Structure 1
Amino acid sequence: MFCGDYVQGTIFPAPNFNPVMDAELLGGALQGFGCDKDLLIDILTQRCNTQRLLIAEAYLGAFGRDLVGDLKEKLSNHFKDVMVGLMYPPPSYDAHELWHAMKGAGTDENCLIDILASRTNREIFQMREAYYLQYSRDLQEDIYSETSGHFRDMLMSLVQGTREEGYADPATATQDAMVLWQACQQRTGQHKTLLQVMLCNKGCQQLGLVFQEFQNISGQDIVDAINECYEGYFRELLVAIVLCVRDKPAYFAYRLYSAIHDLGFHNKTVIRILISRSEIDLMSIRKRYKERYGKSLFHDIKNFASGHYEKALLAICAGDTDDY
């Protein structure tokens, strides 16, 4: 599988959709001292993002209040992060996550890697626009100021959104593979730049051929070679690009497993991946997760999350329930 292949999400447009009725139900759930969290989950996780935005418009019309503002006021902790996150259009959600990854002391490099290594040219263009509209700042400038070295150079290339699309040229795959092999052998600044140019700009289909030729030339998988030759976040970004080119759902399954098991349930990562992939390939991510790790994503979420937070995450993952 390469990055343009068919995949499937878990959230779809609800049939017989009535945004005014949903808005009224949400208004009832959010008014007063209590809050009907089950109703919030039932509505917001069972509508696609476009429908949620229409609900927000109807809510404003019916109550003169901002739905996102009311969710922030009435909810708390990670459950709030899930419910509010569902209300962002996808480019705005990416922009929101990138902003919070870079603001304040320290930078969440893994968030930058997850988003910029996996998005299409169109998605990157839209997130850059959303970032400027939401924060009146240039995404590229913020990445430049918050990162450094060859890691920064790679991110700056990715955020251009200029990856080739469509046609692959088998005739140049061997030549490109030789460039990769030399970059892994010599590791100079010049060779890191060659890695950057190739991995950030070549099309997915072309890179798939190049990785196959790399195996033929070196007798080694490109991921193993990168892990041996490089280190730090630069290495993590290189590996993420390769894995996303090969099988994007498998990459996110790996990231979810790591966030759940290696990091003691890293809530931000789990929430971000589930929301951002829910209408794209979350069903495929679930399948890869179970194939590779033996346990279902449902099983692991239930083991580490609880209450309405757990219920909301499971609802986003749903689609079918064979993996419960």
Structure 2
Amino acid sequence: MIAEAYRNMYGKDLLIDLKESLSHHFKEVMVGLMYPPASYDAHELWHAMKGADTEENCLIDILASRSNGEIFQMKEAYLLQYNTDLSPDIYSETSGHFRDTLLNLAQGTRQEGYADPAMAAQDAMVLWEACQQKTGEHKTRLQMILCNKSYQQLWMVFQEFQNISGQDIIDAIKECYDGYFQELLVAIVLCVRDKASYFAYRLYNAIHDLGFHNKTIIRILIARSEIDLMTIRQRYKERYGKSLLHDIRHFASGHYEKALLAICAGDAEDY
């Protein structure tokens, strides 16, 4: 609405003016905020795959956490903005079971609001066998369950897995698999359990372990700003003992810092 009013008042495109007038990470934030959520996801996926190197963690963050409806809108936006389908790009830019799992998630066909307690133990056994045998067939079965079963069903499956194996599903995945396939599976499990906690972990990792990885921080703050960012802030404080705003102030500066803080702020007092 602001962009439309800007065009009506000044006869200019606000997005173009922002791109031409700003620079560096401050520009990335301001331009990113102009995209509707689905268009922003599409924008991030496109750039993650079309650069010199594929940004696998961007693909993981987005595809492991979005609902069926969000994925559908994202794919529509991707086609509209780049005149190509998302799935073929994923296929050409990734490989192996990591690629297969991303493609499954990109279908947006996860069951919703359905749970079958009688199937939970059976699904858990499939996951347990997949962690023990690690054949291609078992990896496929594992990712099919994690990508297609409802969150409610997976909650029960993970509990049954603990009962069968005496081990948490995440620990088992980390022991049995590696690379981006492992990271993607773990991200799915964490998002099933609590998406806000997953993104709090990703922000902390980007700020402290990766030396303030700007792309990751900007992407998560913008993408979650109108969804669950306040909850992410709560999880961050609970888990790490410092507020997200404190860590942003410590590592960012200037207009860039103010922009990130403004996204995070829930009210004037917070800001």
TM-score class, shorter-chain normalisation, is: over 0.9
2:263 alignment partner, SS class: helix
CA offset at residue 167 of structure 1? 1.8
- State the 1:320 CA deviation: 4.1
CA distance in 2 between partners of 1:109 and 1:305 (Å): 25
Counterpart-to-counterpart distance in 1, 2:147 and 2:268: 37
What's the counterpart of residue 94 of structure 2?
A: 147
Cα separation, 2, equivalents of 1:174 and 1:211: 9
Q: Distance in 2 between matches of 1:172 and 1:104?
A: 42
CA distance in 2, matches of 1:122, 1:160: 11
Q: Which amino acid aligns with 1:171?
A: A
Q: Please give the root-mean-square deviation of Cα atoms over the aligned residues, in Å.
A: 1.0
**1:207 CA drift (Å):** 0.3
Alignment of 1:251-290 (within 5 A): 251-290=198-237
Q: Is the 8 A contact 1:301 1:314 kept in 2?
A: yes
Partners of 1:161 and 1:261 in 2: how far apart?
Answer: 33
The one-letter code of the counterpart of 2:256 is Y
1:156-203 per-residue CA deviation (whole Å, 9 max, x = no partner) reads 000000000012111111111111111111110000000111000000
> Could you tell me which amino acid in structure 1 is paired with residue 26 of structure 2?
F
Query: What is the CA–CA distance in structure 2 between the aligned matches of 1:320 and 1:205, rounded to whole Å?
Result: 33
The residue number in structure 2 matching 1:132 is: 79
**Quick check: 1:174–1:210 contact (8 Å CA) kept in 2?**
yes
2:146 pairs with 1:234: no
Look up the match of 1:294: 241
> Which amino acid in the other structure matches residue 231 of structure 1?
D
Q: Counterparts of 2:154 and 2:120 in 1: how far apart (Å)?
A: 8
Percent identity, please. 80
Q: How does 1:96-135 map to 2 (within 5 A)?
A: 96-135=43-82
- Select the residue among 85, 94, 98 that pairs with 2:32: 85
Distance 2:133 2:268 in 1: 49
Q: In structure 2, what is the Cα distance between the partners aligned to 1:189 and 1:200?
A: 16
Shift, 1:322, TM fit? 7.5
Alignment partner of 1:308 is 2:255: yes
CA distance in structure 1 between the aligned counterparts of 2:157 and 2:238, rounded to whole angstroms:
26
CA contact (8 A) 1:92 1:127 kept: yes
Superposed CA offset, 1:119-173 (max 9, x none) = 0000001010100110111110000000000000000000000000012111111
- The C-alpha deviation readout for 1:263-321, integer Å capped at 9, x for no partner, is 10000100000010011100010010011111110111111100110011011101147
SS of the residue corresponding to residue 66 of structure 2 reads coil
Letter in 2 for 1:299: H
Counterpart code for 1:209? M
Q: What letter matches 2:104 in structure 1?
A: S
User: Which structure has more RCO (C-alpha within 8 Å, separation ≥ 6)?
Assistant: 1
2:166 paired residue number = 219
Q: Which runs of 5+ in 1 are unaligned?
A: 1-53
- Structure 2 unaligned blocks of 5 or more: none
Q: CA deviation digits over 1:192-241, x for unaligned, max 9? A: 00011100000000001100110111110000000000000000000000
| Partner residue, 1:59 | 6
- How far does residue 104 in structure 1 lie from its aligned partner after superposition? 2.8
The two structures have a TM-score, normalised by structure 1, of: 0.82
**Equivalent of 2:23, from 68, 76, 97?**
76
- Larger Rg, first or second structure (1 or 2): 1
Q: Specify which of 128, 133, 140 is matched with residue 186 of structure 1.
A: 133
- Deviation digits for residues 40-61 of structure 1 (CA, Å, limit 9, x no counterpart): xxxxxxxxxxxxxx01011111
CA distance in 1: counterparts of 2:268 and 2:129, whole angstroms: 47
Counterpart amino acid of residue 188 in structure 1: T
